[in-house]
């Protein structure tokens, strides 16, 4: 970030050099502050680890998810036999 900030400062310094010292340094400080904000924002957005990993969804029903139907069959057996 220091290298790119110095390139920005050297690029814009000839343009703002003719202003008063206060305006020149304020403009240069604003350019460098916005550059730092953009760099930190990109770093946080693209390179931050997720806080939690979502659990995978179940593809096959477990015993607790099976519904008992009248007649002693469960829902998964009923669906398989009707195909």
* pLDDT of 75: 54
Q: Quick: pLDDT tens for 10-32.
A: 999 999 999 999 999 999 999 99
* pLDDT of 74: 56
- What's this model's pTM, rounded to 2 decimal places? 0.56
* pLDDT of 51: 74
Q: Quick: pLDDT tens for 40-81.
A: 999 999 988 777 776 667 666 666 556 665 665 555 554 555
CA distances in angstroms from 5 to 31, 37, 42, listed in the order given = 9, 12, 15
State whether residue 6 is helix, strand or coil: helix
């Amino acid at each position: 970030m220091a290298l790119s900030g110095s390139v920005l400062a050297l690029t814009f310094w000839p343009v703002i050099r003719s202003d008063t010292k206060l305006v020149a340094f304020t403009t240069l400080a604003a350019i460098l502050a916005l550059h730092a904000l953009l760099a930190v924002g990109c770093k946080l957005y693209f390179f931050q680890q997720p806080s939690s990993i979502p659990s995978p969804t179940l593809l096959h029903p477990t015993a607790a998810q099976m519904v008992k139907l009248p007649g002693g069959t469960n829902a998964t057996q009923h669906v398989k036999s009707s195909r």
